[in-house]
């Protein structure tokens, strides 16, 4: 949903506050309501780094990863993707532990794939118990744009003792971004639209203080 800038009489529309977000995510207005992809002509290339945010159903705790994706397009419109999911410290969003990986994951012509990610989530990346846990997850994903993917996480944690049922969103970031340089998290497919729409009626930022009058020019 690339927000339009409306300029009239020197004033900027309130959506201007969200231009950076929309430019980063690259959504069109109806990008989040087309799950069967009748209009998709080519799956976007999602090669790059993505800030991944996820929330377990019924929980108020978010899990964060830095995902590195490598996408290869096939001649028939499908593709394959490699996924490296680097856990992030939930307190400061810095790298924690070792990545969970999946390779040569098939991507269908609608941009959908399911990556199996299994491994250890370190305690500093686990805001619920703050203890190391094992994870065996399916990342059921929709590629919405070249800059935004989303979907659900299913599977188990704690050796099958607990079920994983979470939503997630992941937005493109510059390579190597972490910590305070990461954008606000998005945890659902609809979250990108919600975050954008939240600014439609927001007041514009206050104008900067008026500059002092310039001194008179020397004769």
Query: What local confidence, expressed as pLDDT, does residue 155 receive?
Result: 95
Tokens 């307190």 found at: 91
CATH of domain 40-187: 2.40.128
Distance in angstroms between the alpha carbons of the first and the last residue of the chain: 54
Tokens 């510059």 found at: 174
The residue ranges of every structural domain in the chain are 40-187
Query: What local confidence, expressed as pLDDT, does residue 26 receive?
Result: 53
Query: What local confidence, expressed as pLDDT, does residue 161 receive?
Result: 77
Query: What local confidence, expressed as pLDDT, does residue 130 receive?
Result: 93
CA 69/CA 72 separation, integer angstroms: 10
The mean pLDDT values, 10 residues at a time, for the chain of 219 residues are 32 43 48 57 95 94 97 95 98 97 96 97 94 96 96 89 92 95 96 54 41 46
Characterize 12-44 residue by residue with b for buried, 16 or more Cβ atoms within 10 angstroms of its Cβ, and e for exposed. Answer: ebbbbbbbebbebbbbeeebbeeeebeeeeebb
């Amino acid at each position: 949903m690339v927000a339009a800038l409306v300029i009239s009489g020197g004033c900027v529309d309130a959506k201007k506050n969200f231009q950076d977000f929309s430019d980063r995510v690259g959504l069109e207005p109806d990008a989040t309501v087309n799950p069967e992809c009748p209009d998709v002509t080519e799956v976007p290339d999602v090669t790059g780094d993505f800030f991944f945010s996820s929330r377990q159903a019924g929980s108020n705790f978010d899990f964060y990863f830095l995902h590195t994706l490598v996408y290869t397009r096939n001649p028939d419109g499908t593709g394959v993707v490699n996924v490296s999911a680097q856990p992030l410290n939930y307190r400061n969003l810095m790298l924690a532990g070792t990545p969970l990986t999946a390779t040569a994951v098939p991507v269908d012509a609608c941009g959908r794939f399911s990556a199996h990610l299994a491994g250890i989530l370190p305690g500093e990346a686990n805001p619920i118990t703050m203890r190391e846990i094992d994870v065996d997850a399916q990342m059921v994903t929709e590629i919405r744009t070249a800059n935004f993917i989303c979907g659900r996480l299913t599977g188990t944690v704690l050796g099958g003792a607990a079920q994983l049922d979470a939503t997630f969103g992941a937005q493109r970031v510059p390579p190597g971004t972490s910590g305070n340089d990461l954008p606000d998290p998005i945890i659902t497919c609809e979250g990108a639209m919600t975050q954008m729409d939240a600014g439609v009626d927001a007041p514009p930022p206050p104008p900067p203080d008026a500059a002092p009058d310039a001194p008179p020019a020397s004769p």
